[in-house]
Structure formats: C-alpha cells, structure tokens
Amino acid sequence: MIRTGVIDSLNLSSSDLESLFFDEDNYIIEPIKGLGVFKPERWKSAFKKPLTQNIIEAKILHTSTGLELPIKRYSIPKDKQTLEFAGLHGYNDKSNTLKELLQSLKGQIQDKSLTRLDIAIDFKEKIPIRVIKHIRKVRQKLFSWYNSTYFKTERENKKNYHINILLYDKGIKENLNDDVSRLEFSFGGSYFRGKYKIKDLPLLYAKMEKTIKRFTGLNIEIERL
C-alpha cells in the first residue's frame, strides 16, 4: 500500500527576498526586530512562538488576502533572509490561501535556496504500532513538546538540524470532527546541505521518500507542488 505524503511547511532563503513583495497594493512588510525596532509581543501574537536570540532581524509579511508570514534573518548566515510557508496542508481556508500564494510566486522563487521542508503523513486512524516500532529502532527516546511527541536518539539534543520526526493529533489541533493523526518528517538545513533550490524539488522527492521508508517501513509518495 502506498501512502500519500504532503508538503506542510516550506522555508526558502535568499539575500533579496523582499524584492518579491514591492507591490504595495498586495503586500505590506511590518518591521518587528531590527535597528531601532523591537516588538516581540507582536511576533508572538502573530505566530504563537517567541523571537529567539539567533533571529537578528524579523519582519511580518502581510498579504491582501489576510495572510501573515514570518521573514527572518538569522545570525548565521547574516546576509540572507528566510521566508516561511507554514501550514500548507491544513484542513482550513488559510491553507488554501497559503498554497495559492506559493503557486503565484512559483515562477519567481525557482532560484531561492531550500532550508526546510516538512512532509506530513495523515492517518484517519491511529498510526500503526508497527510504524512506531520501526521508528524507535533508531530513534529510541521520546520527547514531548506542547501537543507533539518527537522521536530522538539517546544522544540527540532538543533540535535536530538534519531530520526531526514527530507525531501529533491533527484533529484536536484544528478542532476537526474526525480523528486525524499526523506523522511528520521535518527535513532541515543540513539535509539539504545548502545545495538545493526550489527548482530542484523534483530531484528531492525520491530522496525524501526513501528516507521516510527507511525510518518507517512505509511506501510513501509525496504530492508534487
């Protein structure tokens, strides 16, 4: 049986990201952290998470369709901004609007660097025990953070910049009437090693599918953007 995986979050990085959003009729960029500006509560209100110390510049991209997206500049590398598309595969109107925005920018972002991809696999029932056992052969330690459970190695710290594996109840998170359990693979910067751009996504699908199968035993086909 082949299960479907979907891209739920996508981060892209470039030194000229803001040039995509000069159209003032459709976009407004709100400074949050930078020279003479520091509004951490505004950031937390928008994204439900605090500004971390390694974010040296932060802005919120507002779109005419009502979206708010984070634009971040990390301490390493200082010369690039990161734009985050989080929640591309939810069960709500916001996800559809976010996907429409990404599709509208597709021709302009092909040469932007990929820094993170989250692949979600949803189960309309509980995640099979055999899948959990397969993951725990190599990720033995469980770590709970808010409503999510992370699979960690014994020597792994809180963050894994290569691959994070987690599960959570998507039904509860989005107040759905149906039970939906989500298994998520978050592929970070070291997985891409700085050499993949958005235009290279077709090369990455098979690579990620093999990685997920190695950890879970599941045959996965990732939906193409």
Residue 85 has a pLDDT of: 98
What is the rounded CA–CA span in Å between residue 17 and residue 26?
Answer: 15
Q: How confident is the model at residue 137 (pLDDT cuts 50, 70, 90)?
A: very high
Query: Which residues touch 177 (CB under 8 Å, ≥6 apart)?
Result: 171
- Give domain limits for the chain: 2-222
Q: How confident is the model at residue 145 (pLDDT cuts 50, 70, 90)?
A: confident
Stated as kind and residue range, the H or E segment containing 221 is strand 219-222
SS3 sequence of 33-74: EECCEECHHHHHHHHCCCCCCCEEEEEEEEECCCCEEEEEEE
CA angle (114 as vertex; 111, 119 as ends), nearest 5: 135
Residue 19 has a pLDDT of: 92
Q: What is the pLDDT of residues 40-78, one digit of tens each?
A: 999 999 999 999 999 999 999 999 999 999 999 999 889
Q: What percent of the chain has pLDDT over 90?
A: 85
Residue 103 has a pLDDT of: 96
